[in-house]
């Protein structure tokens, strides 16, 4: 199953190489690097508003009014990655531009170019500079956003910098990139209102856009191929902490998890819409960093336990290394498979999901974290030792995630369409209501004031319980966005 680059990717590569011959490149900058807490949670506000929508349709949006329409009017077949530094303290954040990099292929959405979900604490917008038309937008979350909820930020009042990047189709003409962040005050739909935090004008024809040619140093591993990446959801399962001598283990592990993913009810009906890729990128050392044990390893994308000094928060802050490695594969969604038997993980919306290869809970972590990173799902549990509390879900603001709600007065329950008539709201947390969609108090790390839609769910319970109907509907929504 291992093979070199697929023909379509090779063609894109050749095109990129030819174009690169005529272009210069920009020197990369050194990057600071993060540190400490958490689990896989994210941030605040979500999709609520107006008339409820069918569960499989995108929710109404707070995204900018814009007409994008035809992909080919605005974009080439390639992608543009904009590398940034995201820095600040617990209550403020800012961005700095580092560099722009062309990638050989945009494998993502080509029909739905504007975000319609409203998921994410952040969002970026791309405007055609000449006309001001918004031609692409996407919601996302950040590791920085999670760090803001840590004692280091809140109590010690430290300030930090994180590597970040956004990726979108390569524009044909100059564009303006705008980043917005949700505030802790409700907007018209109850979710945190967006405020602009950064803007940058970019000329895609500039020699300052890096055009580093990709090579084929890493063999591509085909785990499941259903068609042209331009028309599929492309999921990359990137290994970290596998040495060259452990590549057979990586292939075995990646195949095992690809089978788990495709066998899950959320993806099983969509085999024909999904590609799953691997990349044989060996690390010098085996396993991730484990700072509390004094173990530091040299790995491809620098995964580490004890992120934010939390025991089981397994992440990477090396976005540059991650994106440069992943750019060898067309990917929409990124999984990082870490060669370890320790329990841990993390998942950040539209960034990555990270999980351990050999833990007894690995199948659970694998899908739970993907719920965060792919479908914008919140943690539904509330009794954990995590210390996010109000920092994640400020009172009076509706979470942006589709599967938890503050049930603010005067607003419809966002999963109302899935609630059967006569269901008591709030819903008693008892056996009689174990299989109904309702509103169960206790969610998003809070025992009071936040509600989850189902008594148990993959986002609630550490076990192989299925995603609840509301979470499953969010998967469905995102899958449709990529493939319609």
Structure tokens at 419: 């609630």
Q: Cβ distance 333 to 235 under 8 Å?
A: yes
Report, in Å, the least distance between residue 101 CB and Zn ion.
36
Of the pair 178, 473, the CB lying nearest Zn ion is at: 473
Nearest to residue 375, comparing CAs of 257, 237, 478, 236? 478
Of the pair 168, 475, the CB lying nearest Zn ion is at: 475
Q: Which residues bind Zn ion (CB under 5 A)?
A: 403, 457, 459, 468, 471
Of the pair 102, 458, the CB lying nearest Zn ion is at: 458
Report, in Å, the least distance between residue 117 CB and Zn ion.
16
Report, in Å, the least distance between residue 470 CB and Zn ion.
5
Of the pair 313, 440, the CB lying nearest Zn ion is at: 440
Of the pair 88, 438, the CB lying nearest Zn ion is at: 438
- Find how far residue 332's CA is from the centre of its chain: 9
Nearest to residue 315, comparing CAs of 279, 286, 351? 351
Beta carbons within 8 Å of 387's beta carbon, 6+ residues apart: 37, 149, 150, 151
The Cα–Cα gap between 340 and 353 comes to 15
Report, in Å, the least distance between residue 464 CB and Zn ion.
14
Of the pair 214, 367, the CB lying nearest Zn ion is at: 367
Report, in Å, the least distance between residue 469 CB and Zn ion.
8
Strand order of the β-sheet with 274-279 is 2-3, 220-224, 274-279, 233-240, 333-338, 352-356, 346-348
Torsions phi, psi for 88 (to 5 deg): 150, -160
Of the pair 357, 403, the CB lying nearest Zn ion is at: 403
Q: Where is 20: in which H helix or E strand?
A: helix 7-21
* Burial of 274 (C-beta count, 10 Å sphere; 0-12/13-18/19+): buried
Of the pair 143, 457, the CB lying nearest Zn ion is at: 457
Q: What letter does residue 315 receive in the DSSP assignment? A: B
Of the pair 221, 471, the CB lying nearest Zn ion is at: 471
Report, in Å, the least distance between residue 456 CB and Zn ion.
8
Of the pair 365, 459, the CB lying nearest Zn ion is at: 459
Structure tokens at 232: 């599929």
Report, in Å, the least distance between residue 35 CB and Zn ion.
31
Report, in Å, the least distance between residue 402 CB and Zn ion.
9
Report, in Å, the least distance between residue 138 CB and Zn ion.
23
Q: Cβ distance 407 to 451 under 8 Å?
A: yes
Of the pair 261, 471, the CB lying nearest Zn ion is at: 471
Of the pair 195, 384, the CB lying nearest Zn ion is at: 384
Q: What letter does residue 194 receive in the DSSP assignment? A: E
* DSSP output for 251-272: HHHHHHHHHHHHHSTTTGGGGG
H-state helical runs in 264-329: 319-326
Report, in Å, the least distance between residue 150 CB and Zn ion.
25
Residue/partner pairs of 137-141 with CB below 8 Å, 24 or more apart: 137/63, 137/64, 137/66, 137/113, 138/166, 138/168, 138/350, 139/115, 139/349, 139/350, 139/376, 139/400, 140/166, 140/348, 140/349, 140/350, 140/351, 141/42, 141/43, 141/348, 141/349, 141/350, 141/351
Report, in Å, the least distance between residue 452 CB and Zn ion.
6
Structure tokens at 328: 């060898």
Report, in Å, the least distance between residue 294 CB and Zn ion.
38
DSSP β-ladder status, 333-338 and 233-240 = parallel
The Cα–Cα gap between 18 and 78 comes to 13
The Cα–Cα gap between 229 and 407 comes to 39
């Amino acid at each position: 199953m291992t093979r070199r680059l697929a023909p379509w990717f090779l063609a894109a590569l050749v095109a990129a190489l030819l174009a690169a011959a005529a272009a210069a490149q920009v020197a990369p900058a050194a990057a600071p690097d993060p540190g400490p807490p958490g689990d896989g949670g994210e941030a605040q506000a979500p999709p609520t508003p107006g008339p409820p929508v069918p569960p499989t349709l995108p929710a109404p949006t707070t995204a900018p009014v814009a007409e994008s329409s035809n992909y080919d009017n605005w974009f080439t077949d390639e992608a543009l990655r904009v590398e940034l530094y995201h820095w600040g303290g617990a209550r403020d954040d800012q961005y700095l531009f580092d560099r722009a990099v062309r990638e050989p292929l945009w494998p993502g959405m080509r029909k739905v170019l504007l975000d319609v979900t409203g998921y994410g604490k952040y969002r970026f917008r791309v405007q055609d500079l000449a006309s001001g038309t918004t031609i692409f937008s996407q919601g996302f979350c950040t590791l920085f956003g999670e760090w803001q909820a840590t004692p280091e930020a809140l109590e010690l009042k430290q300030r930090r910098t994180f590597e970040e990047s956004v990726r979108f189709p390569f524009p044909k003409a100059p564009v303006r990139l705008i980043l917005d962040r949700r505030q802790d005050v409700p907007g018209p739909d109850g979710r945190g209102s967006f405020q602009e935090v950064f803007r940058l004008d970019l000329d895609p024809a500039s020699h300052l856009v890096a055009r580093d040619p990709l090579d084929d140093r890493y063999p591509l591993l085909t785990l499941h191929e259903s068609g042209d990446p331009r028309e599929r959801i492309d999921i990359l399962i990137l290994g970290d902490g596998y040495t060259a001598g452990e590549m057979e283990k990586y292939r075995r592990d990646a195949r095992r998890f690809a089978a788990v993913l495709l066998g899950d009810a959320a993806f099983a009906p969509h085999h024909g819409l999904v590609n799953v890729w691997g990349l044989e990128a060996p690390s010098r050392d085996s396993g991730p960093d484990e700072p509390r044990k004094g173990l530091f390893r040299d790995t491809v994308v620098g995964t580490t336990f004890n992120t934010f000094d939390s025991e089981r928060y397994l992440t990477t802050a090396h976005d540059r290394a991650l994106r440069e490695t992943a750019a060898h594969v067309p990917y929409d969604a990124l999984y990082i498979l870490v060669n370890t038997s320790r329990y841990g993980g993390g998942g950040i919306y539209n960034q990555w999901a990270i999980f351990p290869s050999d833990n007894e809970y690995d199948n659970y972590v694998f899908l739970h974290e993907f719920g965060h990173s792919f479908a914008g799902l919140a943690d539904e549990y509330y009794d954990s030792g995590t210390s996010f509390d109000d920092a994640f879900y400020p009172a009076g603001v509706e979470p942006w995630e589709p599967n938890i709600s503050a049930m603010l007065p005067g607003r419809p329950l966002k999963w109302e369409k899935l609630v059967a008539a006569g269901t008591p709201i709030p819903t008693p947390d008892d056996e009689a209501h174990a299989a109904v969609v309702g509103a169960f108090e206790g969610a998003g790390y809070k025992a009071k004031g936040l509600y989850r839609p189902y008594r148990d769910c993959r986002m609630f319970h550490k076990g192989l319980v299925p995603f609840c109907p509301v979470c499953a509907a969010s998967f469905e929504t995102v899958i449709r966005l990529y493939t319609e």
